[in-house]
Structure 1
Amino acid sequence: MQRTGFATQTPPALFPSIFGGLGLGLAWHRAVDVFGISRGVGDMLFGMAVALFAFSLFAYVVKVARRPGVLMDEMPVLPGRAGMTALILCFYLTSAGLVPIAPRIAILLLSVGLVGHFGFLVLFAIWWRGAPAEARGLNPSWHLHFVGFILADLSLIPLGFQGLALIIFWITLPIAVAIWALSAWQLTRNVPPAPLRPMLAIHLAPVSLMGTNALLLGYLPLALVFVGFGWLVLVGLLICTRWITTAGFSPLWGAFTFPLAAFASLNLLLAAALQSGGLRVAGGVLLVAATLVVVPILAKVMQAWAKGGLGVKTNAARV
């Protein structure tokens, strides 16, 4: 018998937009050194995103505690798989934001994220082996599943675990390249259905994160390669905006949020490192754009959840 009431159908589709909100808060933190602004804006945005994450996580944990089998029930639905990974990646970003003020809590959250990430991959492998052929194909969410570990470096590097950060960087880099290459090949053969096209924006996220971590690890030339590649990807996405968004707003628009915030962060970090006026302007424009994109999408997704329609619309599992 299905339950009714709180947390009976908490949708994983909540978490990509919250993930973007956390990334936006971190991007505003990057702007402090570039523009000399108060850290308060970033703290406010990050704090609000952490609060939303904590409440949404509690609602999802309550759902899973009632019937742990819902985790496997989420797997056949793309918003479910992507949302579950975004939930895990939120632990990495929350950890990164807490490193300067609460390093022990940051390490704890990072550890939870890593354990949860490996646990998700086990569930994913079990589902994938038995899934129909048409559901097993590569899609942009594979960046979240397999390259998302790179987010751990945002905490590992400032915490002093540079050796582990290097290992994660050099393992995830070829995986990201392989997914980009296979995705480009797919686009030449098959046109994604309109409702799934917003997920193409995810391809910008690993570009941004690879560039950011390359810079933090001391590989400045590689970081410049990634920022150049990122601008090519972003321009391509902007040119195709009407085509990508032709199906209208959906929870999958959460795919627009974190990649844009992450790319703003990369430009701002490089602007501070190189004292580049051009990158300073680019980073500022991207930061404003990310704010204007992330906040409304996050608000609409949370509103849809509050009204009770998000779980049904994304076919989230029930308890």
Structure 2
Amino acid sequence: MENTDRLSFLEFLPVSIFGAVMGLSGLSFAWNQAVHLWHLPLIISQLIGGLAVITFIILTFTYSLKFWKYPDLVLQEFKNPNTISFFSTIIISLLLLPGILLPLFPTLAVSIWVVATLLIGLFAWYVLRQWLDRQQKPASAMPVWLLPVVGTLNVPIIGSKILIPGSHEVCLFFFSIGTVFAIILITIIFSRLIFQEPMPNTVAPTLMIMVAPLGLAFNSYENLSHSQDMFAAVLIYFGLFLLLLLSSKLLMLPRACPFQISWWAVSFPLATITNAMCRFVENKTEFIPQYLAKFLLLCTTLVILFLLIQTIIRIVKGTFVPVSFTHVQTAIKE
């Protein structure tokens, strides 16, 4: 492979592209919450949700085609410690899509959620065993580490609305795993960011992933406890501070790092904290929180629209080059 420009779209296609489904699903939930808050048209949430479902179907077919034509590339991506965490984006997408399908196809939605819940539990266990069985280098601690383990916080997001025997205890179980490991892993990642070399610009957008656990924990906690207490306030306000901190670091990124698939890493965290903020202000009349929720919804919508347009343009032009492909290429050569 002398020139990466000659490689096909399928060879470039990374599993992390499923992060687009997560971002669209989260944005659909945020707009759905906005419908109840400000009486906005429900059709916006439905259209975004429909786009998320269609995107998942297309990506599932395309990535399956890649596995059929280039199984070695997919297997190397799975075995590579730099990219294995991204496989959880498929499972998390399956955990979120039932929230879109539930009003129309409740049986299908419940079935998908049950399967996805089993998969995220098994995958989190597998990744943790890999970390415990093999010594990890401090510099390898990246925000993507949060995806497979803290991704368990996605289980109660929809699971709390599914009324099947034992679902509440299952949601509590995964909420506990995700919350405790969020504290552990965010501490490790911050330590790496402070005491190790800076992350390359190409993966810098994944920093925003650290915001997602706060939004997910808030939404899951409110779903399970049906209350907004001091702990819930800590989650949302610390999430907002972390968003402000990391956003200030990423604002200059476009000058140093041209658009690529890693930019989609900002979509789901933004959507998650926006949805959490919209839920937080549901029973509040204060001026600042209300307008902050509206501002976040607007910004998140514009960011995801920009990412979607840029992705389509680059696919059409043939300039779609994901950051994770470099890691896969390295793994194959080794």
TM over 0.5: yes
Structure 2 contact 86–144 (Cα < 8 Å) conserved: no
Residue in structure 2 matched with residue 162 of structure 1 by the alignment = 168
Letter aligned with residue 101 of structure 1:
L
Task: State the 1:307 CA deviation.
Answer: 4.1
Deviations 1:191-223 (A, max 9, x none): 222222211110000110001111112242222
Alignment-derived partner of residue 300 in structure 1: 310
Structure 1 stretches of 4+ with a deviation exceeding 6 A read 129-132
2:218 corresponds, among 201, 205, 211, to 211
Aligned residue pairs, count:
316
**In structure 1, how many angstroms separate the alpha carbons of the residues matched to 2:148 and 2:261?**
19
- Quote the Cα distance in structure 2 between the aligned partners of 1:175 and 1:122: 12
Partner of 1:289: 299
TM-score of the superposition, structure 2-length normalised?
A: 0.83
Identity of aligned residues (%): 21
Aligned counterparts, 1:155-304, within 5 A: 155-160=158-163, 161-190=167-196, 191-218=198-225, 219-221=227-229, 222-242=231-251, 244-245=253-254, 246-304=256-314
Check the 8 A contact 1:21/1:46 in 2, yes or no: yes
In angstroms, what is the RMSD of aligned CA positions?
A: 2.9
Write the deviation string for residues 83-123 of structure 1: whole angstroms up to 9, x where unpaired.
Answer: 42212211111112222332211112213323443454576
Matches within 5 A, 1:1-319: 7=10, 10-66=13-69, 68-75=71-78, 80-118=83-121, 120-121=123-124, 124=127, 134=137, 137-160=140-163, 161-190=167-196, 191-218=198-225, 219-221=227-229, 222-242=231-251, 244-245=253-254, 246-310=256-320, 314-315=324-325
Q: TM-score, normalised by structure 1?
A: 0.87
Task: Give the unaligned 5+ runs of structure 1.
Answer: none
Distance 1:301 1:136, change over 3 A: same
List gaps (5 residues or longer) in structure 2: 1-6, 330-334
Contact 1:21 1:298 in 2 (8 A): no
Contact 1:14 1:302 in 2 (8 A): no
More RCO (CA 8 Å, sep 6+):
1
CA apart distance, 1:140: 0.6
Give the Cα separation in 1 of the matches to 2:99 and 2:152. Answer: 13
Query: Could you tell me which amino acid in structure 1 is paired with residue 63 of structure 2?
Result: Y
User: Shift in Å at residue 244 of structure 1?
Assistant: 4.9
The farther-off stretch of 125-134 and 293-302 is 125-134
- For 1:167 and 1:119, locate their aligned partners in 2 and report how far apart those are by CA, in whole Å: 14
